[in-house]
Amino acid sequence: MQPEGLTDPFGDELSPTKRTVATRKSTHPLIVLSCVAVAAVLFTADVLTPRGVTPTIGYCVVPLLAVQTGRRWFTIGMTGLCTLLTWVVYFLEPPGAPAWMSVFERSILTGVLWFAFVLVWQRMNAQSALARQSQVLEDLNKELRRSNQELDAFASVASHDIRGPLATTGMLANLVASRLAGKIDQHCAEWLSLIQSEIQRMHSIVENLLEYSRFNTDRSGAVECDCEAILATVLDGLKADLTANRAQVTHDPLPRVKGDPIQLAVLFQNLVENAIKYRSDAQPKIHVSVAAEQDGWRFSVEDNGIGIDPADAERIFRPFERGEGSKTTKGSGMGLATCKKIVELHGGRIWVESARGSGSTFHFTIAHP
Ligand code: ADP
């Protein structure tokens, strides 16, 4: 059985969220007192006022107040009580105007009172429906989060378990290759080297998958991050790659944001790495800019690389999806999926503006917590 005060106006069982609201509602003795006080004051005034003038119109305030408790029975009860008091005073009021006038006035005022009640009732219904919908949405969200976490945990466990046998296979392939060096024909040597490079590819897929599944915490532990320092560290780590490609990286003054510095570093690293990886014949030029938005920051990483077919613009953010222009480039298709996950964990979104042959600009937003 529901404990007293823990059912909604429809008598349904309350979820924990609704229960909190109900508990808050039940802590509203002030409203109950106000309803009773208003009714008592109006009753007294009505009893003292001679027939012909009646202050009972004020009873309409009572259902408006009573609804604040969120209890349907209380609102009905108070409206009924006010109706009763209106008519009891008919017999108690001092003489004045003719009796039919009092009956007429009290009938009109009773009508107005119940009209106010109907409006209040409809509002209660609408609020209740809204609460149910929010609850359904919240439950769905929870379920989605739970299944995403399960999926991450599965990917993480699977990647961990594959790592060991993969490392052993790689080591054995290397051993075989070194033992047979010079003793096998060219075809066999090529196949062996193919096996080694496929093992290497599988290794990088597993590592990327592990990285992807590692990021699943929200911003509850967020700290103030200096994006300028984060980008500097990332560029330092990519120094060899940048120098080898004669890449030029420039950036606007970058802000401090609330977030996870490791995740943000991975985000910048993946985007800058891609800008180099998918370079065109021209000297790679990468610019990181930022713009303040109403509820956060919008960062943009612009390059002059090979560009992306607009038809691929959404697909490439999904795990293991690679663009048309990446056939000859090594990769697992997990980089942008990881970026998307990180951005979403920071309350933002990521998208790309590009066309084949004319560079790409990756935009992402970081919301204020
Ligand atoms: P990977 O680079 O391993 O393929 P990503 O998830 O990082 O995986 O990228 C997905 C695809 O998006 C790439 O295969 C490539 O086609 C495209 N892409 C990403 N960044 C760029 C870029 N800066 N310029 C052109 N294409 C890009």
Which of 7-11, 189-193, 260-264 has the lowest average pLDDT? 7-11
Secondary structure class of 212 (helix, strand, coil): helix
pLDDT tier, 309 (very low <50, low <70, confident <90, very high otherwise): very high
Burial of 52 (0-12, 13-18, 19+ CB in 10 A): middle
* Res. 368 pLDDT band, cuts 50 70 90: confident
Q: Say if residue 325's pLDDT is above 90.
A: no
Instruction: Give the tens place of pLDDT for each residue, 77-132.
Output: 999 999 999 999 999 988 888 889 999 999 999 999 999 999 999 988 998 999 99
With a CB cutoff of 8 Å and minimum separation 6, the contacts of 282 are: 304
Mutate to test the pocket of ligand 1, among 205, 308, 343, 350 (most ligand atoms within 8 A of CB): 308
Q: What is the pLDDT of residue 27?
A: 53
The pLDDT tens digits for 20-74 are 444 445 558 889 999 999 999 999 999 999 988 888 889 999 999 998 888 889 9
CA of 304 to the centre of ligand 1 (A): 14
- Closest atom of ligand 1 to CA, residue 333: 8
Q: Note the helical H segments in the chain.
A: 16-26, 29-48, 61-66, 72-92, 99-180, 186-214, 227-237, 239-244, 261-277, 335-345
Whether the pLDDT of residue 208 is over 90: the answer is no
Ligand 1 binding pocket includes 319 (Cβ within 6 Å): no
Atom of ligand 1 nearest to the CA of 208: 3
**Exposed/middle/buried for 136, CB within 10 Å: 0-12, 13-18, 19+?**
exposed
Q: What is the pLDDT of residues 223-265, one digit of tens each?
A: 999 999 999 999 999 999 999 999 999 999 999 999 999 999 9
Site to probe by mutation for ligand 1, drawn from 204, 316, 343, 358 as the one with most ligand atoms within 8 Å of Cβ, is: 316
Q: Whose CA is nearest to atom 7 of ligand 1?
A: 335
Any ligand 1 atom below 6 A from CB of 284: no
Residue 357 has pLDDT above 90, yes or no: no
* Ligand 1 centroid, distance to 206 Cα (angstroms): 18
Higher pLDDT, 145 or 326: 145
C-alpha of residue 347 to centroid of ligand 1, in Å: 23
The number of the ligand 1 atom at minimal distance from the alpha carbon of 321 is 10
How does DSSP classify residue 312?
Answer: G
% of the chain with per-residue pLDDT over 70? 92
In this predicted model, what pLDDT tens digit does every residue of 153-166 receive, in sequence order? 888 888 888 989 99
Amino acid at 36: V
CB 5 within 8 A of CB 26: yes
Q: What are phi and psi of 304, to 5 degrees?
A: -115, 35
Which residue, by CA, sits nearest to atom 17 of ligand 1? 323
Could you tell me if the CB of 336 is within 6 A of ligand 1? yes
Ligand 1 atom showing the smallest separation from residue 317 Cα? 6
